[in-house]
Amino acid sequence: MDPSLDLKNYKAEFLQIIGMQPENCGLVHIPCFIDKQWVLVAVNFDERMFDILSPEYGADRTMEVIHTVVYNFRLFFIQAFPRFLLFNIRDFKLRYINVPKQQTKTDSGIFVTCFMETFDGTNIETFKPVDIQGLREKKLFQLVFSKENKAKAEVVSNFRRQYNIAFF
């Protein structure tokens, strides 16, 4: 992985259009897919930290990518907000948050979405690997029945027809 982005391709005007105002942000989530494993880097503006939520803390490749993500975020932030004085993003430290450990790497996506939903900047809602099936079902329901899902009627109808499921 290239340790730095080519910031010459990003104009300050474009970066400021992204709609982020650092003084109003609590957390910015950066999900990272590393060696078939999802990990979450949360930029915690309230605590002045880069919070790492990773079930595989300490893996060499994971650490390398996390450090690269943090390095690039700092550069990107400085480029986007050159006159921002409330804090110095270079001073943010890395902090590893104790998170539930998954049984298999295939569960990492479910875990990371749960981390994004429940991490408040200091704590995370705990759950156990046995909760995974219920969490999968909950996420599927949320995705399929979201008001933003334009394809849901067709998806649900096809699923019901394929598996002969009556509507309840």
Contacts of 118 by beta carbon, 8 Å cutoff, 6+ apart = 124, 125
| Cα dihedral 58, 61, 62, 63 sign | positive
Number of Cβ within 10 Å of residue 118's Cβ equals: 12
Band the pLDDT of 168: cuts 50, 70, 90: very low
Number of Cβ within 10 Å of residue 63's Cβ equals: 16
CA distance 56 to 36: 12
Region 23-32 average pLDDT: 88
Question: 3-7, 105-109, 110-114, 116-120: which range is least confident on average?
Answer: 3-7
The pLDDT > 90 percentage for the chain reads 23
The domain segmentation of the chain, as residue ranges, is 7-127
pTM of the model: 0.77
Residue type, 44: N
Give the distance, in angstroms, between the CA of residue 152 and the centroid of all CA atoms in the same chain: 25
CATH 3.30.310.130 fits 7-127, yes or no: yes
Cβ 68 vs Cβ 107: under 8 Å? no
Cβ 113 vs Cβ 131: under 8 Å? no
Given a cut of 70, is residue 4 above it in pLDDT?
no
Band the pLDDT of 56: cuts 50, 70, 90: low
CA distance 70 to 3: 10
Residue type, 161: R
